A = this chain, B = another copy of it.
Amino acid sequence: MPEIAAGAPLAKLLLESILRAGTALQAGDVIVLAQKIISKAEGRVVQLAGVTPSGRAQNIAREAGKDPRIVELMLRESRKVLRVKPGVIIVEHNLGFVMANAGIDQSNVPDGDEAVLLLPENPDASARRLRDELRERTGMETGVLVIDSFGRAWRNGVTGTAIGIAGMPALIDLRGNRDREGRALRVTQVAAADELAAAASLVMGQADEGTPAVLVRGFPYALRESAVNELLRPEAEDLFR
């Protein structure tokens, strides 16, 4: 994929990339996209020069050792700040994700010393638009998954994680399924979209050589309409926030 600018025709660019890779989009394929190219195409770049940090942002920035203007943007993007310590701010994003830094990123942003990239405003809607345009252009029914790299409680390192979904299942419900002996399964819901996000993230890489889109063929579950909300545990049922 070329460097993506605001307004870039993502569906067209993706289909061209797929052709260059020597194949064509097929029904049942899933396209996985890094959040960053969706955000860039949607013009979610913010120039820091225009951001005035509130007193609260300045206090948190001091505690975390971060740029107060970026912290101000984190606060605007979030419902709640869950944890702050040097180098780390964990929030509940307006979109419902518990994540570090509200997903705000400076790397791989042109002019990134003075600009940052926010998450897409509505990643499910971004995924649906792209899925619809792929269908219009090819006639193929496909899934689209938008992913970002999330840290986790209890474990080191980030993994690819779903933030926007169209046309593929977020969760697979196994309640009612049985094991070989006919007993109920211990596992009742599989976060298939997060598993696919992690798989695609392996292929994408993170650095210079980054590949911002992955074509998945052979996803093992039936496609259906869905939304990332299926993956978000409501606060009232959550034991760790």
Q: Which residues of A contact B (CB under 8 A)?
A: 3, 82-83, 85, 88, 90, 97-98, 101, 105-110, 112-113, 149, 152-161, 170-172, 174, 177-181, 183-187, 189-192, 194-199, 201-203, 205-208, 219-220, 230-233, 238-241
Contacts and interface: CB of A to CB of B under 8 A. Distances in A.
A172 B185 CA distance: 33
B156 A153 contact: no
A157 B231 contact: yes
Contact of A181 (B88, B108, B231): B108
Nearest to A240: B153
B206 A174 contact: yes
B192 A220 contact: no
Given A180-B108, A240-B154, A196 B202 contact: yes
A158 B233 CA distance: 12
The 10 closest A-B pairs by CB, nearest first: A157-B191, A199-B199, A198-B198, A153-B240, A98-B154, A195-B198, A107-B179, A153-B153, A177-B207, A157-B189
A110 B186 CA distance: 14
A109 B241 CA distance: 34
A195 B156 contact: no
A149 B98 CA distance: 21
19 contacts: A82-B239, A98-B154, A107-B181, A107-B187, A149-B187, A153-B154, A156-B171, A156-B233, A157-B171, A159-B198, A174-B206, A177-B208, A178-B207, A179-B207, A180-B208, A195-B199, A195-B202, A203-B220, A205-B220
B195 A160 contact: yes
